[in-house]
Structure 1
Amino acid sequence: MSEQFRLLQSLIPAIAKVPDLHSALDLVLHRVCEVTHWDYGEAWLPTPNSHSLTCSQAWSGDPSKLQSFRHIRETLTFSPNIGLPGRVWRSKQPEWIDQTKPNRIDPDAEFTLLSATDQPQEFQAGGAIPILLDDRVLTVLTFFTRHSHPGDRQWMEWVSAIAMQLGLVMERQQLTEQLHQQQEFNQNLVETHGGFFVAIDPQGKTRMMNPRLLETLGYTLDEVRGTDFVTKFIRDVDRKPFAKLIKTREEKSELKSPTVHQTGVLTKEGQELWVEWRSQQVFKKSGELDFLFAIGRDQNEHCLTHQETARLASFPLLTPNPIVEIDLAGRVRYLNPEAMRLLPELLDSEAEHPFLAEMPSMIRLMQQQSSLRREVKIGEIVYEQVLHYVPEIECIRIYALDITDRKRAEELLLFNAFYDRLTGLANRALFMDRLQQAGRRAQPSQGENRDSPSYRFAVVLLNLNRFKVVNESLGNHLGDQVLQEFGQRLQNCLRPTDTVARLGGDEFAILLEGIQGVCDAIQVADAIEQTLTLPFNLEGRDVFMTTSIGIALNTNRDRQVLSAENILRNANTAMHRARSQGKPGYAIFDNQMLSPTVDRLQLETDMRRAIERQEFQVHYQPIVSLLTHQITGFEALLRWQHPQRGLVFPAEFIPIAEETGLIIPMGWWILREACRQLSIWQQQFQSPQPLTMNVNLSCKQFTQPDLLAQIDQILEETNIAVGSLKLEITESVVIDNPELVKDLLLELKKRQIHLCIDDFGTGYSSLSRLHNFPISTLKIDRSFISRIGALGENSEIVQAIITLARTMSMDVVAEGIELLEQVSPLVALQCHYGQGFLFSKPVDSDGAIKLLRGKSVQLERQISRSVSVKNEVKNSVSIENDIR
């Protein structure tokens, strides 16, 4: 069994046995550090007001090396989102920091704090894991290590996978602890209470007296049981109020607090005792009055002996848990009311009962120890017994707690830790454990050829194509139905020895063990595809699904044995290759598949470093008035000057930036840089109509909560002319989130920021839908402009766009103008602005200044010459038509 299994199986029951939360946290920290070989672990607990995190007393580490460091940590507190514990507390997601990674953009301040201690620890890596219960953070576990290992993140994922289960166990441990504390409190209260007690049934008959009261009155229990309590023991002047209390029948929902009154009590010898009584009515579960319970204190004697206190504690009639007393011979001496109700068979002293199983041997042990715990099962009920030896009265007192729900919860925790709730299949944790076990079986033994393992297995990784469409269009409940049925179909294609798991979403994995070769895996892939020829019936609607399948063996072309992580990575690479083929099917992993992946990973790494090294540049392409032939503004375009590859264009790196989220800091940088440059130009080239700047705003930027705050800050820093900033967005940003977007666009309009729809015509929107938004400019995609001929042919779509845009008071910019012949038709169609290589390619800031200083005249001459030629062609055509 793997270390992960041993860790989980040992933690859950172990936590349930520790006495308090501190011990539970201490146990978790020591077990995790022991297995992962991390050097230091600590726990952070939210304060009662949840304003900050404080350091728990529990920690793990070498005291001889870390004591000084520990003292400093104990003085710290973290607010939400401050420091590593604070961030994890806020996000409720685990986080791992590795200082050895060279591509870190923002090193975490946590390590700065660590290095500033009296004894620098030189930790290389660390992380934090939230322990959750019902979306509430119980505690944040933090770990640090001096030596970073590749498997650290996998350990983080593993511990995170059991974090919710640990939270449930800790919560139940806390509840059990509180229950035990309450029980001990009640017991101590009864044991230290010096007085009498009596139970009287609804008819006023004496049901029971404690020995202290019997001794004081001079009777035996047989003499008083069944007698009328009021007439026999209460003096005449006090009988009426006491009898009224017994006859009153209050409903359970209207229970009052215990009644306090004083009466004179008559002994057998006729003496009067002045007793203060506290009485309470006790009801059955059916709602009927069971008896009146009264506790009395002799006003002439307040001190009871220790034996009498212990005897009083042996009769807690009001506890909701069974309590049983047995003598040292194993005979039952007392059952409290709850024990009588649940375990009436114990009254038969001759019959053996599982509640008292192995009790003789337990008694000998109890005489040597103060208390013991054990579990017994009676039918479907599981009890936890707390056995306490009371030497003063020479008996064993057994407190029983029904822990059936807790035991079921523990079983459910184990199931949830290794199985998928939706499909019942193995989850990622169990799949990786079995994959690692298969890898160990494949390792050649001593003397075998290490390059040719005799045990072969394969991983088949697959997901459903277009599952997101089904989920979003038909609803999550039908999407879940597809996943459940697909999981069942996969099981039907496999042998009993194979493992099928749901890794998450619509991604499934299959482990085929003991195969002869790749042909066996191909047969399974063919069988899976065959099962998908049948539709999924979703509430009377037939839906067909396809899948992309990746296959990877446990050896590569060089017959080298691969690790479990590498096999799963290879299968994932093959699956993506199968998906990229554009049709359902499978792909078998080959080493050549890694080249594009490695190149993409290298490009992502270089891009992160490029941000730090300031390798990105802004180029500017002019936007020209087709009527005045003057430059009215520029569009800011991002370029990457790679130290090895040279100039890298956006098409290569923008998709990766979008996927990784780097597009957000890059987008804000280009907006700030473009506005800064525009401010300089507006001061250099002053005119009644200031230069404008178009800047692209990505979809991810548009959904950021601080969008308006970021833009306001940039405008304040750069001080550009009001109304000179134009933000370009795509049609999909507006159409996909109309309600959210409309409010943001209105806020931008209030700031006199113009909004442009970029590449209009390539999406699925229409001008009628865009009319509901404050859009000021449409930029017609270059694919439409390129179709306009020398005589204005193929311009119908462009004409329609321009006509509708002008009707809605929108400006139009034609993108991608590369030929002089395209200018005159656009002017004739009343398109007033253009942009393209005919005027200028995107240039750096120095090139843009040259354009502003002189090239506008050259543009005017080129355009005028083009218009003149165009008019001559039109006139010749007109004359020829007249002759005809």
Structure 2
Amino acid sequence: MESSDRTATIEEFKADVAFSIGLHSKLDRMLLLFMKRIKSRLGLVDVLTYWQKKQGSWEALSVNQGEITPPKEYAPFVEEVYQDHKDYQILTSPKGSFSYFFLIPNFGVLQLITKFSPLDKATIYGLQPLMIKLAISAILCKRFHRQAEEFNNLLTATEHTTRTTNIVSSISLMTFENFLKCLKEIICYDDTNFSVGAVMLFDFDRFRSVKDYSIFDFNQEILFALKAKLQLILPQNSVIAQVESDILAVLLPNISTNHARATQYVTSLVNAFTAEISNPIVISNRQCLMSFKCGIQTFSAASTNEENKTILSQAIIKQAEFAMDSIHLEQGKSYRFFTKELNAIAVRHRTIDNALQNAIQENELEIFYQPIVNAQEEIIAAEGLLRWNSSELGPISPAEFIPIAEKNGLIIELGYWVLRQVCMRIKENINSKTEKQLKYISANVSGIQFQHHQFGEVVNEILNKYHQSKKHLRIEITESIAVTNLSALEVLIESLGQDGVQFMLDDFGAGQSSLAYIHKLTLHTIKVDMNFVSGVHKSPKKQILCNAISDLCQQMSLECIAEGVEAPADFDYLRSLNIHGFQGFYFFKPLSSDEFHLALKG
């Protein structure tokens, strides 16, 4: 059979079998229909489905025999495939039969038994996507039965169990306040069989860029769609709450007997959810492709008093949040558990947080200046960069303390301090008779600082105090600010632009580059991201990108700056383009105030 014919046959087989996966309210009927269809299409000896009744206890359904006790000879393979999350495993019997064990995510294992002739790889791979669909249908069937069981159990439950069930079942659109109350109750509910629970925090990273161009109802529909997808893969007693506009919290009570098993189980849920949102969400004929970060903390239930319940619940939330914030999606992993290693980092963060509170008053902060040069390597401008030398901790990298300042809100005060220092330095340069006159000095603005309701007012106040700096101050914004706050940014740039302040777009190309906001915003300068600049002399692809960006700037009358220049060969190539300025360690590292003064005199 030719390859194209073989592919068509496999696709037709998948479509035919997938058709048999319905949303039947009877689990055994739905599974049996699916299994019979597979047995018929592949000419199998038997098909068995295994699922857990409870931890360590399996049920089985056979096409030939109906409900059966799981065969002991297959038990180790079923357990291994399910616990290790293997897509499939093959067992060859001495009697000449072949058994294929396929994982049904978050549900169980499917076993196909053939005699004499093994299945080919194309058929095996064709079956794997069906396992996801089968899992969803099976879970919904089980959920239907579980709801009926829970209703009956409510009639005879003890007072404590009734209270817990009522709390857990009120999950529809739970507020975060009620979520915390629920967590407090679960913490002190010690079920000796399943005493380990988990909290998951989901931050939907592309949600902000979606909702900037959307109406409120559209945003809520996205959240409802995300909750619906979560509910497809979560156990029935899960609690889902909205923490912020784009963060959802999930509580999984009593999911395992130990933390290791709980970790495996929660990991399987995250992987299933990743598969669920791999396709765009369609809202009002608009497609939204979402990504997320998920921080997770597992916990053990234990008897405790009211005060400790509050402390423990808040600590669990903060630990899950810290795990979520520590994720860098470019590293390829969308979830992280709070571990001992993360706890050490969290302790370090708390120490930095405390020390940062008094950094301005203790005169521990300083502005370093990294010059920008022209093609003749003459200094024409500079960028002001915040540095911190803590009396307690020593020098601390901005990459470490800036995110902490953004988290605790100090970034607003620090940002205004930087603007004041930069404006003072501009005034000194203008009045100096020995320094080379600069076109401008730029200052970076955090997205959180930009969102501060008094940002425009405070900047105007600083400019009025240092009025000479008005036409020589440039504010650097990142692409993330432009994407998430486009309308407000347009107004602010126009307002400050009337006072002579010009805006620069930093790290162009590093994030969600969009010609839309370059067109809409009154920008003066584009700074090409260092990832395009580094090694450009030997990379044809980077050369194409740098050429395109410089041509774009020329056509739109924008100044173009290449940042991160560290090699002479890169500089030689870049200055052959229409690029106005260059910045990087090849020319100058960031300089202290005294070093910068000497460089301008030289």
Return the offset for 1:833.
1.9
Cα separation, partners in 2 of 1:566 and 1:625, compared to 1, 3 Å: same
Partner of 1:480: 224
Return the offset for 1:619.
0.5
1:279-302 Cα shifts (integer Å, max 9, x gaps): xxxxxxxxxxxxxxxxxxxxxxxx
* Equivalent residues in 2 for 1:369-768, closer than 5 Å: 419-420=170-171, 422=173, 427-428=178-179, 430-435=181-186, 437-438=188-189, 457-464=195-202, 466=204, 469=207, 475-477=219-221, 479-480=223-224, 482-483=226-227, 486=230, 490-492=234-236, 500-505=238-243, 506-512=248-254, 517-518=258-259, 521=262, 525=266, 549-554=296-301, 563-565=308-310, 567-568=312-313, 569-570=315-316, 573=319, 577=323, 580=327, 583=333, 587=337, 591-627=340-376, 629-685=377-433, 691-767=439-515
Describe the SS at the equivalent of 2:359.
helix
* Equivalent residues in 2 for 1:327-406, closer than 5 Å: none
Question: Following the alignment from structure 1 to structure 2, what is the Cα–Cα distance between the partners of residues 540 and 793?
Answer: 38
Cα separation, partners in 2 of 1:570 and 1:788, compared to 1, 3 Å: same
Partner AA of 1:680 in structure 2? E
Describe the SS at the equivalent of 2:521.
coil
- Is residue 529 of structure 2 the alignment partner of residue 781 of structure 1? yes
For CA contacts below 8 A with separation 6 or more, give which structure has more relative contact order: 2
Structure 2 gaps of 5+ residues are: 1-165
Return the offset for 1:764.
2.7
Question: Following the alignment from structure 2 to structure 1, what is the Cα–Cα distance between the partners of residues 585 and 436?
Answer: 27
Cα separation, partners in 2 of 1:792 and 1:432, compared to 1, 3 Å: closer
Question: Following the alignment from structure 1 to structure 2, what is the Cα–Cα distance between the partners of residues 590 and 793?
Answer: 40
Question: Following the alignment from structure 1 to structure 2, what is the Cα–Cα distance between the partners of residues 842 and 635?
Answer: 9
Partner AA of 2:399 in structure 1? A
1:336-389 Cα shifts (integer Å, max 9, x gaps): xxxxxxxxxxxxxxxxxxxxxxxxxxxxxxxxxxxxxxxxxxxxxxxxxxxxxx
Question: Following the alignment from structure 1 to structure 2, what is the Cα–Cα distance between the partners of residues 748 and 691?
Answer: 18
Question: Following the alignment from structure 1 to structure 2, what is the Cα–Cα distance between the partners of residues 767 and 545?
Answer: 22
Question: Following the alignment from structure 1 to structure 2, what is the Cα–Cα distance between the partners of residues 577 and 511?
Answer: 19
> 2:554 is matched with which residue: 782, 786, 806?
806
Does the 8 Å contact 2:384/2:422 carry over to 1? yes
Point out the structure with the larger helix share.
2
- Larger-Rg structure: 1
Return the offset for 1:535.
5.3
Partner AA of 1:663 in structure 2? I
Return the offset for 1:727.
1.4
TM-score (norm 2): 0.58
Question: Following the alignment from structure 1 to structure 2, what is the Cα–Cα distance between the partners of residues 424 and 677?
Answer: 48
Describe the SS at the equivalent of 2:372.
strand
Question: Following the alignment from structure 1 to structure 2, what is the Cα–Cα distance between the partners of residues 710 and 626?
Answer: 36
Question: Following the alignment from structure 1 to structure 2, what is the Cα–Cα distance between the partners of residues 529 and 773?
Answer: 39
Question: Following the alignment from structure 2 to structure 1, what is the Cα–Cα distance between the partners of residues 271 and 587?
Answer: 58
Return the offset for 1:669.
0.3
Does the 8 Å contact 2:367/2:592 carry over to 1? yes
Question: Following the alignment from structure 2 to structure 1, what is the Cα–Cα distance between the partners of residues 290 and 591?
Answer: 51
Describe the SS at the equivalent of 1:714.
helix
Cα separation, partners in 2 of 1:673 and 1:437, compared to 1, 3 Å: same
Partner AA of 1:477 in structure 2? E
Question: Following the alignment from structure 1 to structure 2, what is the Cα–Cα distance between the partners of residues 793 and 480?
Answer: 41
Return the offset for 1:625.
2.4
1:850-878 Cα shifts (integer Å, max 9, x gaps): 11111xxxxxxxxxxxxxxxxxxxxxxxx
Question: Following the alignment from structure 1 to structure 2, what is the Cα–Cα distance between the partners of residues 688 and 591?
Answer: 52
> 1:815 is matched with which residue: 563, 576, 586?
563
Partner AA of 1:774 in structure 2? T
Partner AA of 2:198 in structure 1? V
Partner AA of 1:476 in structure 2? Q
Return the offset for 1:608.
1.6
Return the offset for 1:528.
5.2
TM-score (norm 1): 0.41
724-733 or 614-623: bigger deviation:
724-733
1:171-192 Cα shifts (integer Å, max 9, x gaps): xxxxxxxxxxxxxxxxxxxxxx
Question: Following the alignment from structure 1 to structure 2, what is the Cα–Cα distance between the partners of residues 846 and 586?
Answer: 44
Return the offset for 1:595.
1.1
Q: Percent sequence identity over matched residues?
A: 24
Question: Following the alignment from structure 1 to structure 2, what is the Cα–Cα distance between the partners of residues 681 and 801?
Answer: 32
Partner of 1:828: 576
Question: Following the alignment from structure 1 to structure 2, what is the Cα–Cα distance between the partners of residues 433 and 590?
Answer: 22
Return the offset for 1:735.
3.5
Partner AA of 1:457 in structure 2? S
Question: Following the alignment from structure 1 to structure 2, what is the Cα–Cα distance between the partners of residues 667 and 822?
Answer: 33
Cα separation, partners in 2 of 1:566 and 1:812, compared to 1, 3 Å: same
Does the 8 Å contact 1:501/1:510 carry over to 2? yes
1:808-838 Cα shifts (integer Å, max 9, x gaps): 2222222122233333333322323222222
Cα separation, partners in 2 of 1:748 and 1:585, compared to 1, 3 Å: closer
Partner AA of 2:252 in structure 1? I
1:575-631 Cα shifts (integer Å, max 9, x gaps): 8658949557785x654542111112222222222233221110111122224x432
Does the 8 Å contact 2:299/2:316 carry over to 1? yes
Describe the SS at the equivalent of 1:431.
helix
Cα separation, partners in 2 of 1:768 and 1:782, compared to 1, 3 Å: same
Question: Following the alignment from structure 2 to structure 1, what is the Cα–Cα distance between the partners of residues 523 and 554?
Answer: 12
Cα separation, partners in 2 of 1:848 and 1:607, compared to 1, 3 Å: same
1:530-567 Cα shifts (integer Å, max 9, x gaps): 98699599899999999765322248xxxxxx943565
Partner AA of 1:460 in structure 2? A
